[in-house]
A and B are shown apart, each in its own frame.
Chain A
Amino acid sequence: DPRCFPRRPYAALLRAAFHSLLHHPHAGNSFILDDPDLKDIDPMVLKHCHAAAATCILEAGKQKADISAISACLEDCKLDKERIEQFCTEYQKNKDALEILLGSIGRSPLHITDVSWRLEYQIKSNQLHKTYQPSYFVTLNVENSDSGSHPDVSFSCTMEQLQDLVGKLKDAAKSLERATQM
């Protein structure tokens, strides 16, 4: 409704909506209240409009909607042309970040982020002397999509076993390369 929401507050609302989605998904809504352009708007109206804007943004992002689809949708909601344009411009600016955010939500197996290794030369143990064997200790740093951290996966292996492991990883990489060329 153009009467409750003059032009400048509308722009501020859009900015705030995108900002709160993309930069602080869990934080409170202090950003909306901080913007001086919005201080004259009734808080209840502000809250509803922010929620509506955010929902619209998320839905458009989820469906990977293009500008024409968004415009059509907003026309149905009876927004005037200027406001639709403002929305679309703001959307275009934030589209990539939105896509990244939405793409990162969801469950997946533990994600390997890095690897560390240690090379040892075994000389003896109390059970067995003169072993003289190289041994590797490999740690895979993993991340959980939910909680962000997880105990790392560690294991020891001989040189042959490590060669086997690396060989298999290289097979996977080659396969990946072939797949991207198809």
Chain B
Amino acid sequence: KLNVGVDTVQHGVEGLAYLLTESSKLMISETDFQDSIHVLGFSDELNKLLLQLYLDNRKEIRSILGELTPKLPSYHNLEWRLDVQLASRSLRQQIKPAVTIKLHLNQHEDQTAQVLQTDPSTLLHLIQQLEQALGEMKTNHCRRIVRNMK
């Protein structure tokens, strides 16, 4: 339908792909993008089209590129359950509360689920520690860094 050779089409596609991924990766501004493609000598209409294509797809391309970075197992979900142990083979008449946790993690497209357990006091300790972690982003130190990095 385009009436050009296969090679030309392929090069065209590759060129476009490269243009879009590099632009998205670097998150260049509109003006920078326009300046860059201006050198290619296309018509104004084509340039506008390319710019629109870039802006429309930038977010999605970036999220796909984000998947390519080195990854550690990441959090997916957490389920919990309260148990009370009443007896065991070695001791009868117990009252031993425990919290059983199923931690769902993602790694390389596989989902793993791990069953863990903790006692009430450790649970409270975990909560306290992690709340402290969350609070860190709001401290002056972190805020300053975030401001200066942008």
- Measured CB to CB, the residues of A under 8 A from B are 61-64, 99, 102-103, 105-106, 108-115, 117, 119, 121, 123, 125-132, 134, 136-138, 140, 142, 153-157, 159, 161-166, 168-173, 175-176, 179-180
Contact = CB atoms under 8 A, between A and B. Distances in A.
Interface residues of B, number: 59
Contacts of A162: 75, 130, 133-134
Contact of B72 (A110, A156, A163): A156
Interface string B76-102: 011110100000111111101111110
Contacts of B26: 129-130
A121 B146 contact: yes
Nearest to B132: A117
Interface in B110-144: 114-120, 122-127, 129-131, 133-134, 136-137, 142
B19 interface: no
A103 B137 contact: no
B75 A173 contact: no
Interface SS of B by simple majority: mixed
Contacts of B116: 109-112, 140, 142, 153
B20 to A, nearest CB: 13
Interface SS of A by simple majority: mixed
A140 B94 CA distance: 27
A125 B134 CA distance: 24
A108 B123 CA distance: 17
B12 interface: no
A169 B88 contact: no
Given A159-B137, A162-B134, A166-B134, A172 B149 contact: no
A85 B41 CA distance: 105
Nearest to B63: A128
B74 A156 contact: yes
Interface of B: 25-27, 62, 65-66, 68-75, 77-80, 82, 88-94, 96-101, 103, 105, 114-120, 122-127, 129-131, 133-134, 136-137, 142, 145-146, 149-150
Contact of B90 (A106, A131, A156, A159): A106
Given A179-B82, A179-B97, 13 more contacts: A62-B92, A102-B91, A103-B88, A112-B101, A112-B126, A117-B129, A123-B149, A128-B25, A153-B103, A166-B134, A172-B101, A173-B120, A176-B120
B73 A154 contact: yes
Which of B75, B114, B117 has the most chain A CB atoms closer than 10 A to its own CB? B75
B99 A176 contact: yes
A176 B91 contact: no
B88 A106 contact: yes
A36 to B, nearest CB: 33
B130 to A, nearest CB: 5
28 contacts: A64-B92, A103-B90, A105-B90, A108-B98, A109-B100, A109-B115, A112-B116, A112-B126, A115-B126, A117-B130, A125-B68, A128-B65, A129-B25, A129-B27, A130-B26, A138-B130, A153-B103, A155-B72, A155-B74, A156-B75, A161-B74, A162-B133, A164-B78, A166-B127, A169-B126, A169-B130, A172-B80, A176-B99
